[in-house]
Every structure is written in C-alpha cells, then in structure tokens.
Amino acid sequence: MSVARTRVVALTGLEGSIVEVEADLSSGLPGFLLIGLPDASLGEARDRVRAAAANSGCVLPPKKLTVNLSPASLPKHGASFDLGIAVAALAAADLVSHDSAARVVHLGELGLDGRLRPIQGVLPAVLGAVRAGAEIVMVPSANVDEASLVPGVRVVGMPSLRDAAIWHGGDFTPVDVDPVPLESVDRPKSPDLELADVIGNAAAVDALIAAASGGHHLLMVGPPGAGKTMLAARLPALLPDLDIAAALEVTSVRSLCGVPVAGTLETRPPFENPHHSSSAASLIGGGSAILRPGSVSLATRGVLFLDEAPEFAMSVLDSLRQPLESGRVTIQRAHGRAEFPARFQLVMAANPCPCGQYGSRDVACNCSPFQRRRYLGRLSGPLVDRVDLQLRVGRIGSAQFRLAADGQNSTVTTFEARARVAAARARSAERLRETSWSLNSEVPGQWLRSGSQRLSPRETRVIDDALEGGRLTMRGYDRLLRVAWTLADLDAAPRPTSEHVASALALRRSL
C-alpha cells in the first residue's frame, strides 16, 4: 500500500482552486485522521465518509487512515470534499485504482447511505478545475447538467460512492440506487416586461431608456402609485443579452446561492429587488460557516432595485459604496475572506417625503420642510453622487388613463427600446474603443471636460450658468455631461448639442 492521491476544489468566493487530497493507510490503532485546516464540517466529513463507505459495501480496513488536504493555507469548508476524501481512502486501501483516482477531480457530498448528494457552486468549482488543467470531473448525478455547462472537460455523474468506486476499477457488483435529486429553490424566471404597459410618464420612460443606454444609475422620486416600481422592473428588458463571460458569472453566483441552474446559462440580465428591511449581510453577502453572495452579487450584470430607498438602514446603504466603486464586494470574516462580483446598475425609488404626498394635488402633505429634507437626505452624499439620472415621477392623471384605454398610449415598446439601446451602446463603445470604458456612465467627468471631448461654451451655457449660480455642483455638472453624451448617442449625433445638454438638465430635477 502506498499514498493515494486525488483532487478536489475549494471555492473562495467565485474562485475555485485545486486542493490535493492524500490518503495513507498504515498499521496502528484504527482511526481516521483528517488534516489540513479542516473546519467543523470537514471534521464531520470523516464520519460521513466512514459510514458511507461501510453502507456502500466498500468497507475500509480497520487501520490507521490519515488524509491530508493541501495546500493547508487555503480555507476549506463545506461538504463538497466528501467524495474526493472517500475515493482517496478507497485507493489507499487498494480497493480502487490509484491512477484512475489521481486523474479525476471529485466534487460531491456523501449521505450516510453512500449516495452522492448534489452540492452548491458546481459551476464555479468546475470552471476552477478546468482552469487548473483538469480533464475529468466526477460530480453527483444531480449536478451533471450544471457541470456540463463548462466546455472542455469530461463530466462523469455518479449516483453513489459504490458506483464511483466501480468507475475507478473497484471490484464491486453494481447496485441500483435512486440518485438524490436537486432541492429546488423556487425562483420564477422573470419574463421580459413590456414597456408599452407604462401609461403616461413619457419623461420617465425616456430616462429609463437613457439609463439602459449609458449604464447610468437611476433615482426616481415620486408619490406612491406613480409607477416607479413598474418602471424599474422594465429596465432589465431594455438591456442587451449577457455575453458568455457575464452569463457564466451570473450563473455561477446563482449556483453558489443554491438556485437551481440545471443545464442552461442565464443569458438575460438579472433583477434583484431586496426589501428595505434587508440586513447588510443579505444585501452584501456574508454568512457564518460559508460565505455566500448577497443581493448585490445576484444582481451583477443586471439591475439592483431599492424600492423606498430612504427606508433602508443607513449602514446598509453605506455598504453599497464599495461595490459601486469597484464592481466587486469583499467579505471579511474571522474564518476567511471571499470576493464576489457586484457590477450592477442601481435603481432607487423614493417617496418625496415620509408621508409620500408632498407635491400631490389631491392629498395634503403634513411633513415639515425639515422632515422632507432629512428623509431624502438619507440618500445624500457618496451614494447619490454616483447616480447620474435623478428624476421626479408624477402620479398620472385620469385623462392619461382614458387615452390609454382608447389605445392612444403612444409609449415605445420594449422591442423598440431595446433596439435603440443597442444602437446607442454601439455608438459609445465605438467612440470609447481606445479607452478602458465602454459605457458613458463609466467615463470620469474630468475626461469629458478635456481634449476633443470638451464641449464648447455655446453647448454647455445652460449648465455653466447653473454651476456659476451655485445651483449645480461640479459632480452634478459631470453627471449631466455623461447623460448628455448618452442622449447624443441615442440620437445618433456625433456629439451633444445644447439641446442634449438642456434635456440632461431636465432629467435631473428630483432633489
């Protein structure tokens, strides 16, 4: 007997790294020693592996078994190492082929009955294995579809440890078992919603199209019933399909969160809509034993919608700063650290005041000016500074409803809007092809105010006046320039005219 080896994958955030598993069987007091920085769940792996091996009819000899996971410095947690540990132990006992075990990367949790249980995060784990050069990956039957999304690797699905042992050349008689199915978390696929269903609010629809075209964050302020949620929910439908890298990222985050992925990559931008009572951990990510992504990562490459944004806890709103700045989120805990993607488009909706009726013609608002300022002030500062589009959304009148009922609702359809967005994005990408940016929202204001991008005083007079008169800050000025470029792209104009600049100014009259 000699040392047997195989490989498993440890996930840190979305990054999968190969972990070597070595197993040695020696004479001495029977026992099972697991080393290499195991956390509590790895300790439990020992008991699961022993029971699963016995109940599969692949009994480990009563000797001293030592299993080492390396590198020791890599934090390891979860139950996905069970299969690799069991196969290495069986190889050490010469019950399966050493060579076969060494060639394969193993992923899977063992049940006490010896069946393989599906694990979360199979997609990023297999991606990590393939990047490290793996050619064969063995996974639980229920994870085969998801693992097969990764090209360039042979995926072998196994219902039980006994079947895995037979595949590795073990001399056992096959026994039929029912594979453990995926536990499905209900997550209805959100259909692309129809923009033409929005009645009235033409300015808000224009702003939504501009937001989609330039990738601008958006804040809508208006009374309840103004259709803010309806508008926000339609933004993902206006965005282009995800490219392959984005689709893998979005699907990997879902896989880590236990959302069933099955055999399809998500190709549409996600829409996440956390409630204002959400904790920072559920928004940003966290967890005690295993670090899981939060809403900001589930929304990556898509839209994060904060309805009634001033109602979120200040600490929760503050925690959005890092992802907004870097497109990533880093979670630090005593037992480890994980980084997840969080490149989302932020849409916030807010009532104009605590009672929601300020500015309404029908219902009186009793909030004091101080209460109003303090309410929207909760959003001020670094967060709102990043929001290029800030607009008021009014409640629509009964006249507009009648027009809509008569079929005289002239708003643009989702199909038309998506085509306009795609054309505008193509223009900005072409213009910015020599830079590291592709969307107008990514371009720093200083760049827009320099070189050939600089607009002439004739075009910017209206905002220059506002800046000088103190009605606009420098940051606000830069936001307007970015939006003006997006409006020019939507008009297929080579550069913004004074009308685009004026329209950009009109689109931010909220605060």
Name the site residues for Zn ion (rule: CB under 5 A): 353, 355, 358, 365, 367
Q: Letter for the amino acid at 323?
A: P
CB of 309 to Zn ion, least distance (A): 16
CB of 378 to Zn ion, least distance (A): 15
Q: Letter for the amino acid at 54?
A: A
Cα separation, 169 vs 178, in Å, equals 22
Nearer to Zn ion, 41 or 510 (CB): 510
Nearer to Zn ion, 130 or 365 (CB): 365
CB of 204 to Zn ion, least distance (A): 21
Beta carbons of 486 and 424 less than 8 angstroms apart: yes
CB of 186 to Zn ion, least distance (A): 37
Helix, strand, coil percentages for the chain (3-state, nearest 5)? 40, 20, 40
Cα separation, 396 vs 121, in Å, equals 45
Element (H, E) at 128: helix 122-131
CB of 229 to Zn ion, least distance (A): 19
Cα separation, 197 vs 161, in Å, equals 54
Nearer to Zn ion, 334 or 364 (CB): 364
Nearer to Zn ion, 283 or 355 (CB): 355
CB of 421 to Zn ion, least distance (A): 35
CB of 349 to Zn ion, least distance (A): 16
Residue 38: DSSP 8-state: B
N-to-C CA span, the chain: 75
Please, what's the largest Cα pairwise distance for the chain?
89
Nearer to Zn ion, 300 or 360 (CB): 360
Cα distances (angstroms) measured from residue 86 to each of 76, 159, 171, 456, 490: 17, 14, 16, 71, 59
> What residues contact residue 98 under an 8 Å CB cut-off, 6+ apart?
2, 4, 5, 91
Nearer to Zn ion, 351 or 441 (CB): 351
Q: Which of 76, 10, 11, 78 is nearest to 44 (CA)?
A: 78
CB of 366 to Zn ion, least distance (A): 6
Calculate the CA dihedral of residues 392, 397, 399, 401 and round it to 10 degrees. 90
CB of 359 to Zn ion, least distance (A): 9
Q: Which of 130, 112, 126 is nearest to 51 (CA)?
A: 112
Beta carbons of 315 and 357 less than 8 angstroms apart: no
CB of 275 to Zn ion, least distance (A): 22
Nearer to Zn ion, 355 or 384 (CB): 355
Nearer to Zn ion, 481 or 511 (CB): 511
Q: Which of 78, 81, 124 is nearest to 253 (CA)?
A: 124
Residue 112 φ then ψ, to 5°: -65, -25
Nearer to Zn ion, 366 or 435 (CB): 366
Nearer to Zn ion, 365 or 467 (CB): 365
Q: Letter for the amino acid at 270?
A: P
- 342 CB-side CA count, 13 A: 27
Nearer to Zn ion, 81 or 358 (CB): 358
Query: According to DSSP H, which parts of 290-433 are helical?
Result: 295-298, 314-318, 321-326, 369-377, 382-385, 398-405, 414-431
Q: Letter for the amino acid at 251?
A: T
CB of 510 to Zn ion, least distance (A): 15
Q: Letter for the amino acid at 478?
A: D
